[in-house]
Each structure stands twice: as C-alpha cells, then as structure tokens.
Structure 1
Amino acid sequence: QHLEKHCGPQVVLEDVSFSLARGEKVGLIGANGTGKSTLAKILAGVETTDGGTLAVRRGLSVAYLAQEPELDPAASARAIVEEGLVAWRAAVQRHHEVSAAIAQRPTDALLAEQAELDHLIEQLGGWERSHVVEDMLDRLGVTDIDRPTGARSGGERRRIALARLLVQRPDVAILDEPTNHLDADTAAWLEQHLAREYTGAIVLVTHDRYFLEAVVSRIVELDRGRLTSYDGSYSTYLEKKAEQLAHEERTERNRQNVLRREREWLARGPKARTTKQKARIQRAEALEAETPANAGRGATVELVATASSLGKTILELRGVTLAVGDRALTEPFDLFVASGERIGVVGPNGVGKTTMLRAIMTAAGAPGESTRPARGDVVLGKNTRIAYLDQARAGLDDDKSIFDDVRGPHGAPSVTIGDRTLDMRTYLEGFLFDANKQRQKVGSLSGGERARVALAKMLKSGANLLLFDEPTNDLDLPTLAALEEMLLDWPGCAIVVTHDRAFLDRTATSLLAFERRPGALAHVEKHGGGWSDYVAHREELAAKAASARTGGTESARPRGTESARPRATDRATEPPKAKKRGLSWAEQKELDGMLDAIDAAEAEVKRCEAELADPALYATRAAEVPALTQRHEAARERAARLIARWEELEAKKEA
C-alpha cells in the first residue's frame, strides 16, 4: 500500500497501491524505464521501497524469475532445478512421519495435519514427481543437464531458472520477461502451461502480446510512477486504453477552446468591477494554470530508416549445411531472398538460426569471428548492404554517450531519411532520447533503452537487408509496434530470428522453419505467411499423417490452395533445378524465385484483409484505412501480375 520509490531525482513509484488475489494472473506493462522490473523486485521482496508497506500473507510462497538470474556457476542444471522440489520433499517426508504416527496412535490433530499435507502435496504437483526435473529441462530445451551452469549461455541460465520456478509451483510467481530466450514453440507451451495448469497467482512482465492475451485476466499499466488497472485480457485493455485516450483528447480540445475564448475576452481589457467579472478572470487564470489531461504522457516512438537500392540478386544460400565446429546442425538447404521479403526465422534453440545470420555477415565481410557453412555457398548481390542487430547488442560502446555512439567516430552530424534530412539530435528524439538523455553513457541504460540505441545505429546505416536476432527482447510494447510499422513501410528486405509470434504474424511475408528431428540434422523449410500460417500448415500435415495411418481419405482440396498453382512450401531443401531448354538463364533464375514472391504477395493480401476486417481499426485508427486499402489493392495487383508471369514462364519452360 502507498509504495514510494525513487532512483535519484526520478520518481519510479508514487503512492502506488496494488493487491493480488489468490490464483489471479496479472500483466504488468509500461514503457521502457518506467520501473516495471523495479516494481516486480519489490513485490518479490528482493528490493526495498522508500515508503509504504508491503504485506504478504503468512506462509505464502513467492518465487521470482529475474531477467538475469544469479545461479551457482559450479552447480549443474539438474541440481539447480531440484532446488525447486525442496518444499515438496519436505511435505512428503512429513507426511510419511505423520502417517507412521497415526498408525501407532491416531489423534484428531495428526489426522488434520495429514489432510493438510495431502492438499499441499497435490498443490505442489502430486505424489509422482520422480522425473519432473528431467522432463521440465527437456521441455525448455536444456540439454546435458549435469554440466555446470557457469559454462552455459545467458539464455540457457534463464531457462534453467525458469524450470526451477515451474517445478517449485509457488503460490505467487513473479516473472520478468519469461519468454526471452525461448523459441516460439516453447513460448506457446509455457503460455498454455501457465494459463491452464498453473494454479498459483502470477505477476507477468512481458512484451509478448499473444502471451499476455492467453494468460492474464487483468492488465496493470505503470505510467509516470502510477498504476492504472484494467480488468480483462490484453485486447480488452487496448480497447479501454483507446477510449481513455480519446476522452483525454476531447477534454483537452474543449479546454483549449474555452481557453481561447477567455483569452480573447481578456485581450479586450475587461475591468474586474463586478463579482461576475472577477470570477471570470479567476476562471481564465485557472484554465491557464491547469495541467492538461494528457500532460506528461510519453512521446510516441518514431522509428525511421534509410535504405539504398537493391539489385536483382539480394541474397542466396545454395546447398548450405550449417555447423558449429565439426558438428553439423542442418541438412543442406537453399534460400532465395526476393525483393521486399521479410523472412521470419523460427526453430528450437541450438539448431543454427543465429549461425546462419553470422554466416551471412561473414560472407558480407563483417569484422570479427568468421562463421562459414560446412558446405554450400552464401551469395550476396553486388548492391546488397547488410546491417545486423545481434542478441547481445555487442555493437554498443558502454563508455560513450548515446549521441556519440550512434553518430560514430566519423559520423555525419545529420541523417538522411528518404527526402528528409534530420540532425542527429532530432533523429535520436524519435527513439525517445531527449537532449539530456542523449548525454547519458550507454553502459548505464536499461535493457530496453540499449535496444533502442542499437536500433538507432542500425536504421541509419543505409543498409537494404536487415538481419535481426531476437530484436523484440527488452523492447516495450510501443517501441515494438513502431518497429513493426517501420518494417511494413520499409522498401528493403529483412531476415528476423524471433520467438515473438505476434511480431511474425504482423510483419513476416514468409517463414524459414528449422525443425529438429530425433536422431537427425535439423530440416530447414520455407513457408509463405507468418506464424499462424505455419502452425496451420503443421496441423494440416499432422492431420494428413493421422488420416493415412488410419486408412482415411484426405480432403480433395487441402487448406492453402486458393490459387490454381503449386504452393512454395518446400523449396528450402530442394536441390538447385537444372536449367530448362525453353528458358534463358535469367528467366530460369526469375522462375526459381517466383513462387516465394507470389506467396509473399498473397500473405500481404491476407494480412491487409484481416486488418480491414477488424472493427477496432475503424474505432481507433480510422485515419489508417485509406492507406491500408491502397496497400491491399497494390498487393492484389502484384499477386495477379506474378501469377500471370509464373504461368507464362512455366508454359515457355515446357514448350
């Protein structure tokens, strides 16, 4: 109740009151730097307040997943996760003792304690938990579980800490960005586990919108030191927030209209002779001094990027097998990047997604450690310019100010974006760094602020092919939405490794899936559309396989065959096609990329249609409808042109 917290002159929490009911699942959201992680630490009891009281019910177990958990580097993953079973083992041991005592001499007190222990053991996961540690680590993608944690990556350590918490089954779980360093499938599993199986209360800090929508029943927003609670799911919060902002805008417009009339009246120099005139002058002065309803609200992130022109060839991977050292990771696969493509990359941890990005950077001549495929070639077009955002934000210089790091040692004082030239300070203000903040050292920034600095450096580079490795980690929801809008409007190409399913559905024109198979190398396959399209494709394949096993018949027209043409769902592992006699080399090259380009155009059509069918668009973003309609028509026309050209080339090839 009435919590207060300051960091130097900054007010993090101001008279904040918060309560959590038994079994309630709450999402805590807010812009980067507002204090979400600080509040989570206070609720978990690992950080103190400057005022107010924190009351926790006696006997309540609270567990906290930090963004950077501290684990014993000498302990194995197995040993650390087994720490989560301490309460369960103690309850089982006490149950055995009580049962033995009852066998000797039953009493009402012993029988009551036995009943309480029965209930507690069921709460902690039941009697059979012999394999829970191994199963949970396997589910979260942690291998070699007897290896010390000190030799593991930061992502592995986070997954080990998460496994310990899930095994523990506390009364209250406080989770700070739990989906960071999880692949998309594991994030989906965790989402369902917390929503359906976990019975305790949750306070969840996350940027994952699908996760929020599925898990929480209340959203709490931290803004300018204060909390505002919204009952319902994340989508309900968005509707209520839009109504609130619209009301604030109407209130401010009315205030400005009244203020304008009063200023005009005051300009005529009325004398305060009567009580009514005195009151009106006082009212005008009060209006001048009044704080607008939307005053202090955070500025909107505006991500802008410049891109140089692309050539005909952008990027090709030909017969590539990815490897780490002498250990092969993938089967051979091909990848052709078409103009305007935004390719999402998904798959379990450790199958080669980041290795692929590093191999592309090595082919581009980037400095640093060389990463080359075990077999095959990475071919870049002569006009292709690449910028890379890595998970660790390794390109940042902690000792420099934001301004100096983004400008660079020989950087120009301005940035040209299309037909606009912005001075560096104005450019950085678009990333929510005001003049004072721009002087701050990069090393002192929060994770979200560091991510925005890295984006600012990347997007001014003039690259036309952007490589992102988990770009959504640490970003707040407004910055995430701004990054999506930038990519949708950007003329270049992008390859994005991410676990964020909403981000993939919003931005990806195609998906490159790394699929791990037992006892085999990872299979790499390209699909049109975003995450939901990929999941639907997998479900369709599973249904067909089940039908084949039971002797059933398949549907005459499976999902996804709207066009009278084959789908480009399995091009990634096809060997290079031999040149046909009827086509020139250039035409064959064009044909090889046609199906992916058609898939991308059709995915854009579907995406636009889904947005245009959303009632919330007209209620909250009506100004975007004309541009979205034009984008829809352009995508339809492009798909039609591409299909006609594909049919023309196929006919010529067979002639």
Structure 2
Amino acid sequence: MTALTADHVSRSLGSSQILKDVSLTVDLGERVGLIGANGSGKSTLARILAGIEAPDGGTVSQRRGLRTMLLSQEPELDPEMTVFQAAESGLAHWRDATLRFEAIAQLIEQAPSDRDALLHEQSELATLIETLGGWDPRHRIQSFLDRLGLTRPGDLVATLSGGERRRVALARLLVAAPDIAILDEPTNHLDADTVAWLEDWIMREFRGAMIIITHDRYLLDRAVTRIVELDLGGVRSYPGRYRDYLALRAERLAQEARVEARLVNTMRREQEWLSRGPAARTTKQQARIQRAQELSETIVSGRRDVVKVNLEGAVAKGGKRILEFRGVSLSLGGREMFRDLDLILTPGERIGVVGPNGAGKTSLLKLILGELTPTKGEVVVGLNTKVAYFDQTRGSVDLNLSVLDHFTGEGDRVRVGDKWIEPHAWLDRFGFDGARQRQKAAMLSGGERARLALALLLRGEANLILMDEPTNDLDLSTLAVLEEFLLDWPGTAIVVSHDRYFLDQVATSILSFEGDGEVVHDRGDWDAHREARDQRREARKAAARGPARNADMRRTTSPDIKVVKALTPPEVKELEALPTKIDAAEAEVARLDALLASPGFYASSSRDVVSETMAASDAARRQVEALMARWEALELRRSSR
C-alpha cells in the first residue's frame, strides 16, 4: 500500500539545479535507505517529502490520514521546554486521540441516535491509542530518553549541546511513532551501542514507512529493505540491503563504462571527420556536426566527480614512541571519567575509541592536546610528535571565508609533511574544483565542510591525528576515501567514532570506555572488541550470580527450607523435548525476519498481510522466550538435585 509519492520533483538552489525530475514511491512497511554524495540534495529532498519545503516543480502526495515526521540535522525545539517536555511533545496525536475518545464516551452516555457509529469510532480510537503507546505512555518517554543517553530529563533544551538536541528530537520522533518517518543522519551523536539498539527498534518496533539518510553502512545493510541513490539530480532504486546495492551498482557502472567507451570511439571518429577541413563541412553534413556535439555533452553529463584524496608525503617523521599514558586518571566536576589508564602508542597504530556519550572520550583527546590536566598520572607526548586535531564542530572552518581563502594567509604554497604544495592543487586533492574553491564555506554541505576541515587538518607536519567523530556528515564515497587514507598513511591516529563499519575497516585496536571509570584496550577491530566485551560482560554476570547461587544452595540445605522438588517423569520428557522445540521456534523467527527483510514482500502483499506477518514475528519471538524460560526453570530443578 503506497504511503508517499514524489512525482517529477525538481528543485534549484541559486543557479544550481540539485533535483531533476525525481520520482519516488514508498510503501507502508518499507524502510528505504537514501544515499548520495555530499551536496547532492538528500536533505533538500527529505524536507520536500516531509512537506516542509516546496519543490520548484512536480508534486508530493501521501495517503490520506497518515502522519509524516522529519528528524532533521538541525532540529527545531522549544528552548524553554525541558528535555522530557520536548520528547513528550511527540504525543500530540496521542493526546488528540485520547481527548476524542473521552468526548465520545460522554456522547454515548446521552443515548444518541448514532450510537453505533460512535461505538465504532471509539473502538478504532482505542486501537490507535494502544498503537501509540497505550493509556499511559510516559514510561515509554523515559525509556527512550534513557536509551539515548539523556539522563537529565529536567534540563532545559536551551542548555543542551547540538548533539544532545538531536537526541531529544530523535526521542520525540520515536515517541510520536508517525506513519511516515524521515530520518536525516539519525546515528550522528549516538554511541555504537545506541546505534545497534536503534537498528533493533527500527526492525522490530516500527510499523510505518521509513526513509533513512545515513552514512552508517551497517545500518543500511541490516535495517533497510531498499536503497535509493540520489545521483546527478535523479534517483536510482536498488532492491535489498547495502551489500545488494554494491553488487547491483557495480554491474550498472560496468555497463555504463562499456557504453561510454563506445560513445568515446564514436565521438573520436566524428571529430576526425570534422578536422578534415572546410570541404568536409560544406556537403550537407550539419547533422554530423550536431551529433558530435551531442555525444560530447552526453559523455560529460554522465561523468561523476569522484573524490580521491591523495596524501602522499603528508606526514612528518616521528620517533619510536608517539604517546604514552602512565597510570592516568581523570575526574571532572567530582565525577570520575576514567582511572589508572596505561597506554603506549607506537608509529602506525590506529586506535578507535568507543563508549557511551559523556563517558570521557573527548576528554581523553583534550588530555593529549594539553587542554586538560590529569587528576593522577602522566601523559607523555613523544619528542618528535606533532599533533593535529579534527573536532566534532569542524571549528577550523570559517563560514564567512571562501574555501580557497582558508589558505591564502599562508602565501602561495601549503606545507604538507615535508613538501610544499600550491593551495589550488591541495584543495583539488579533496574534491574541490576551481568553482568550488571560490564558494563561501557557508554554502557547502555538511560533508563538504568536513572535507575542507580535513584539508586544513592535514597541512603542516602532523604525525599524530586526533579525530573526534570524523565520519559525521560524510557521504559514502568520502568515507571510503578517509578509510583508504588512514590505511595507507604511515602516521598514527586516535579516532573517536560510533561508526562500527568504519572501525572494522581502519582500527588496529579499540579503547573502550565501559563505565565506572573502567577503560579497556582490546587488540583488533570493532568485531574483535565486541566479542571480547561480550565475554567480559558474561563473566561479570556469572561472577555476580555466583555468590547468590551459593547462598541459594545453602538455603536449600537448611532444615527450615523446603528442598527443591524433583522433576516428574512427564517433566523429564518435556525437558528432553524442549531443545528441539526451541530450535523450531528460532527457525520460524528467522524465516519471518527474512520475509520481512525482503522488499518484494511489501510490493506483493496487502497491508493486512504485512501487519499479520509482523504480528506473527512478534508472537514467534515471545514463543522462543517462553520456551527458553521453561527450559531454564526445569534445567535448574534438575541440576539442583
């Protein structure tokens, strides 16, 4: 069932047309990943689809009665509201429904002639209220705030950082549960564990249509059912997940390369004919001249600017020991951020730093920069270590200057490692052509500003780079470039990031902030760290259960306590059969999940079938949980004998 349709939408900003004849249909139950290069118009299209901005041409329509909500990169919130009140404002639709329900109840008491119609409407409202969180949704609000790391619900919105405001806006959308949700970079300013939770919520809880603009490739590969790529002002749709998109796009580009090769050969022959001189052009061959011009335009218009950051020589020579933490502890405002950290950083290492928001990751970088002083211990920076810092705010970018003006104060050359390069050539390495170099930074997209900040960062003689959430706002192609750079660069890096795919690509080890002042250093990438972390958590749970279980065993041997009852023969048979039943129930969950993850399912199924399948998936999960609980209860009784 179609939820939203864009028909031949176009939009220009200044002299640039960024959307050209865009047509897109999104069905209820679909989760569409919208991707494209920085500056391609993804956020503009999101605002048009949400009805916030009007297109220059074309139309956008949605199914009557559906509610659409946009999570923008710069959300508007009432600064006088508290965090809880701002999140609660997402309940406007729920509040309208409950007020109408109460009004109908009063009307029914008056025995009106349209009583049956009122009862029917009241029944539909009751179903809607349950869908929106039940009769008392306040507990859901607090739950969402807790999951998003917003632990001070009484704080005013005016006092929050930009990242905190985005999380409040995300909580508001989750509370609202709209029919059509449009999320513009929802994972920015979330830690990796929270992103994983959001993935689960999208897959298991959200029942409407969703459009997600994101650079998070794990989110694209797990949570979406279709990829739509915004390219050269138009859109291309690819069924399936991110991995399917990569394969299908590679096939398409290979085909386009073959077509372009044929066009180039044809154009070369036409140009050779044109070069034969005036005689060849006086024999009614104007059509061939026109054809050559059209071929040239076709080839030029079909080419894409691919950002390739060439950073050869962009690192100064350093010593054998870049950085060392010796028993470092840090407390801020009476709160212990971390304690007794020992760490030695050597050339070529790339350490990924992960942990919840507010755990102290940015404070760690500020200790290295000398902006904070350790409460205990010592931070030793190597004698030949030269540090460069890439902060979350891209503070090195001056919005009042043009891209090129950021470098004009340095003369006619820029120092990069042990080399001197012209500013034009240096910026060209970061995908800024002549026209882009003359643009004001204020006119750049978020990702383009990030590229400019990288260009500013990597000049000079740095051999240790500190990066605080560098993947925020970068498009997928620039992310690949950044990963390539970090893999090839002989320097050293400490990178705070929530991007799990990025960490899997570049990290040689992970520094994990695990709460209560504990910081653990795991060798390997994100996946290796996640496995080690899960093992630590299980060990802690087992250790916590140990004393309690010993106490339980002591109590069962006390003469005042009844001994655990032995299993009956039917219970023994039940216990023996449970593993098979659990396997079958888990297989049913996997089958239904695969069905719900298939884009073809939504295209060929009615809304009722989709809803029934989603309900069956939830029931299957509850069945697994019930069987597991029964197995644990019986197994505990058997092992206690």
In the alignment, the residues of structure 2 paired with residue 57 and residue 24 of structure 1 have an alpha-carbon distance, to the nearest angstrom, of 14
Offset of 1:326 from its aligned partner?
A: 4.0
Aligned residue number for residue 52 of structure 1: 58
Question: Using the alignment, how far apart are the partners of 1:81 and 1:181 within structure 2?
Answer: 17
Match of 2:237 among 206, 229, 233: 229
**Could you say which residue in structure 2 is the equivalent of 1:442?**
441
User: Which has the higher mean CA deviation after the structures are superposed, 505-514 or 260-269?
Assistant: 260-269
Residue 520 of structure 2 is aligned with which of 525, 535, 552? Answer: 525
Partners of 1:444 and 1:372 lie apart in 2 by 38
Residue 455 (1) aligns with residue 463 (2): no
1:191 corresponds, among 168, 179, 199, to 199
The residue identity in structure 2 corresponding to 1:496 is V
TM-score by length of 2: 0.78
SS in 1 for 2:531: helix
Aligned partner of 2:500 in structure 1 is 501
Give the structure 1 partner of residue 134 of structure 2.
126
Residue number among 181, 184, 208 corresponding to 1:176 in the alignment: 184
Name the stretch that deviates more: 52-61 or 2-11: 52-61
Question: Could you say if the C-alpha distance between residues 272 and 423 of structure 1 is closer, same or farther in structure 2, counting changes exceeding 3 Å?
Answer: closer
Contact in 2 for aligned 1:428/1:434 (Cα 8 Å): yes
Q: Say which SS state the counterpart of residue 52 (structure 1) adopts.
A: strand
Match of 2:252? 244
Could you say what secondary structure the match of 2:393 adopts?
Answer: coil
Q: Which residue of 2 aligns with 1:597?
A: none
2:359 pairs with 1:351: yes
**How far does residue 511 in structure 1 lie from its aligned partner after superposition?**
0.2
Q: Where in structure 2 are there 5+ consecutive unaligned residues?
A: 1-6, 547-641
In the other structure, the counterpart of 1:289 is 294
Q: What's the counterpart of residue 21 of structure 1?
A: 27
Find the aligned partners of 1:84 and 1:387 in 2 and give their Cα distance. Answer: 42
2:533 maps to amino acid: R
Aligned partners of 2:278, 2:90: CA distance in 1, in Å? 76
Judged with a 3 Å threshold, the aligned counterparts in structure 2 of structure 1 residues 550 and 395 are, in CA distance, closer, same or farther, namely: closer
Aligned to 2:324, what secondary structure does the other structure show? Answer: strand
Taking structure 1 as reference, are residues 536 and 104 closer, same or farther at Cα in structure 2, changes over 3 Å only? farther
* Change in 2 beyond 3 A, CA 1:421/1:99: same
Residue 307 of structure 2 contacts residue 478 of structure 2 at CA under 8 Å; is this kept in 1? yes
1:380-391 paired onto structure 2 within 5 Å: 380-391=381-392
> Among residues 33, 44, 65, which one is paired with 1:38 in the alignment?
44
**What does residue 84 of structure 2 align with?**
78
Q: Does the CA contact (< 8 Å) of 2:271 and 2:292 recur in 1?
A: no
Q: How far, CA to CA, are the matches of 2:10 and 2:271 in structure 1?
A: 39
The code of the aligned residue for 1:202 comes to M
Q: Which residue is equivalent to 1:66? A: 72
Deviations 1:510-566 (A, max 9, x none): 0000012xxxx3210000112111111223334455667788xxxxxxxxxxxxxxx
**Superposition RMSD on alpha carbons, in Å?**
2.6
CA distance in 2, matches of 1:504, 1:327: 28
Give the secondary-structure state (helix, strand or coil) at the position aligned to 2:365: helix
Q: Is the 8 A contact 2:414 2:459 kept in 1?
A: no
TM-score normalised to structure 1 length? 0.77
Question: What's the offset of the Cα at 1:102?
Answer: 5.0
SS of structure 1 residue aligned to 2:301: coil
The structure-2 alpha-carbon separation of the partners of 1:498 and 1:272, relative to structure 1 and needing over 3 Å to count, comes to closer
AA in 2 matched with 1:183: D
Tell me how far apart the structure 2 counterparts of residues 549 and 294 of structure 1 sit (CA, whole Å).
66
1:470 corresponds in structure 2 to 469
1:535 aligns with 2:530: yes
Structure 1 regions of 5+ residues with no counterpart?
A: 363-369, 552-655
Q: Which residue of 1 aligns with 2:612?
A: none
Q: Is the 8 A contact 1:328 1:374 kept in 2?
A: no
1:571-628 Cα shifts (integer Å, max 9, x gaps)? xxxxxxxxxxxxxxxxxxxxxxxxxxxxxxxxxxxxxxxxxxxxxxxxxxxxxxxxxx
After TM superposition, list the pairs within 5 Å mapping 1:632-651 onto structure 2: none
Of all paired residues, the percent bearing the same amino acid is 50
- Report SS of the residue matched to 1:329: strand
CA gap of 1:5–1:261, structure 2 versus 1, over 3 A, is: closer
Q: Secondary structure at the match of 1:20?
A: strand
Change over 3 Å in CA distance of 1:544–1:326 after alignment to 2: closer
Structure-2 separation of matches of 1:394 and 1:549? 45
Q: Which residue of 1 is the match for residue 4 of structure 2? A: none
Q: Give 1:170's aligned amino acid.
A: P
Q: Which moved more, 1:503-512 or 1:189-198?
A: 189-198
- C-alpha distance after superposition, 1:395-447 (max 9, x if no partner): 22233221121x262355245567x7642212211212111221222233222
Q: CA 1:531–1:7 in structure 2 vs 1: closer, same or farther (change >3 Å)?
A: same
Over residues 71-97 of structure 1, what are the superposed CA-to-partner deviations in whole Å (9 max), with x where a residue is unaligned?
A: 111110011111112222332343344
Instruction: Write the distance in 1 (CA, Å) between the matches of 2:30 and 2:156.
Output: 35
**Residue correspondences, number:** 535
How is 1:133-212 mapped onto 2 (pairs within 5 angstroms)?
133-212=141-220
